Chain A
Amino acid sequence: MLGEATAANLLRHYCVKMRMSVEDIHSDQLPQLAEAMRPMLAVWLGSEGAAQVAQELRQLEARG
């Protein structure tokens, strides 16, 4: 949706903000990641689009 490069850097920026490594993100953290990133995603996608991306990330975690 945002483009792979934008999404990857968004994740990297988020990890810097949370003072964690990208490699430390596990699948069970995806729901928390999704919620935390919603304000950032809303800048480009609007609140509805950000909510849907967050939903997708939660579903990724559910599928394992």
Chain B
Amino acid sequence: MLASLVALPIVYAVAVGDVSDVRTSSGARTVVMALTVAVLLVEMIALAQIIRVRAMFSRGDTARLTWTLIASFLLVRVLCDMRLIAGFLNLFPAGGFNFLYFYTVSDLLFIAALTTTIRLYKGTGLKFEIKPVDYLYIAGAWAMAVATILAASYQGSATNFSSVTGYREVAVTVGGVIVSLGLVVRRYVSQMGGGAVARVWNTVVIASVARDASHLASLLVPIWSPRYGFFVDIYLRWIFAICWALAATYQLEIIPRAAVLREEVSPA
């Protein structure tokens, strides 16, 4: 999966060749379409993993709510991606971009998951603190949101919330909240000295930043590089998808060891 981060831009560059308008390039469209489907498949794998993680927690465990919300977040995203692909393939009647706001619904579910996680950590009675440098990172996330809104204004689509650009303004703002909360959780787990738990949430933060950055990149990169503007959004969403698959795998690696311990202590 990690090798794909290097391979994909190379494959895209070869597929695009020397065409002047990359949107008319069948090679470019094929690569982007294939990657869009791959993102969906990886998100489905991540969703299946997260459902397994959720099942490891008992009904009375507070963390079960967190993983239920994360599973719901990914489920709504998967459904949205299916709708998006169906639109690309003309399997759905053209009807504007308002359905994109279902991605916002999924983001709100993830915000709820992050909020419950923070409350969970605080509820342990351990002392978790945010460091001053974290506020710098959070400011960076909000700078990305501001830059996206300014870029949308520059393109003259700032107030049209039925357009893709309008949606991106909303998405990057909600994404700023997600990255901010994710950085708080990341700080909490880093105080655990790294290790298995930190690996999960560090990966989640990378996923959140990648997705938030995709909104800004989709507006700015086409200005600087029309050739790669068509590709960068889906590439960052690919990073988002594989990070979630990795985070789910890391979380599963923590919990099954409890099941192994149970077998060693009291085999059936």
A binding-site residues for B, Cβ under 8 Å: 1-10, 13-14, 16-17, 39-40, 42-49, 52-53, 55-56, 59
Give chain A nearest CB distance to B13 CB in angstroms.
39
Which of A4, A9, A44, A47 is within 8 Å of B60, CB to CB? A47
Contact B63 A5 (CB under 8 A): no
B255 touches A49 (CB 8 A): yes
Which residue from A7, A53, A56 sits with its C-beta under 8 Å from B195? A7
The smallest beta-carbon distance between A22 and chain B, in angstroms, is 13
Q: Are A10 and B192 in contact (CB under 8 A)?
A: yes
Determine the distance from Cα of A59 to Cα of B192 in the docked complex, in whole angstroms: 25
**Interchain CB contact under 8 A, B195 and A2:** yes
Contact of B265 among A1, A46, A56 (CB under 8 A): A56
Please tell me the number of chain B residues within 8 Å of chain A, measured between CB atoms.
32
9 cross-chain CB contacts under 8 A: A2-B195, A2-B254, A5-B192, A5-B193, A6-B195, A43-B121, A45-B254, A47-B61, A48-B258
Q: Which of B197, B258, B265 contacts A3 (CB 8 A)?
A: B197
B-chain residues with CB within 8 Å of residue A3 when the two chains form the complex: 194-199, 254
Task: Mark out the residues of chain B between 168 and 211 whose CB falls within 8 Å of any chain A CB in the assembled complex.
Answer: 191-199
Is there a chain A Cβ closer than 8 Å to B124's Cβ? yes
**B257-268 interface mask toward A, CB cutoff 8 Å, 1 = contact, 0 = none?**
111011001000
Contacts of B118-146 to chain A: CB distance below 8 A: 120-121, 123-127
Q: Which residues of B contact A9 (CB under 8 A)?
A: 191-193, 195
Number of contacts between A and B (CB, 8 Å)?
100
State whether the Cβ of B108 lies closer than 8 Å to any Cβ in chain A: no
Q: What is the bound-complex CA distance between A46 and B57, given in angstroms?
A: 5
- Asked whether B196 lies within 8 Å of A2 as measured between CB atoms, the reply is yes
Interface residue B56 (Cβ < 8 Å from any Cβ of A):
yes
Which among B191, B194, B199, B255 is the interface contact of A45 at CB below 8 angstroms?
A: B255
Tell me which residues across on chain B come within 8 A of A52, comparing CB atoms. 258, 261-262, 265
Q: Which of B63, B126, B262 contacts A44 (CB 8 A)?
A: B63
- Given contacts A9-B191, A46-B61, is CB(A40)–CB(B258) below 8 Å? no
**Interface residues as binary, B51-65 with A (CB distance below 8 Å gives 1, 0 otherwise):** 000001110111110
Give 1 or 0 for each of B228-255: 1 = CB within 8 Å of chain A CB.
0000000000000000000000000011
CA distance A48 to B64 in the complex (A): 12
Q: How far is the CA of A3 from the CA of B202 in the complex (A)?
A: 15
Contacts of A56 in B (CB 8 A): 261, 265
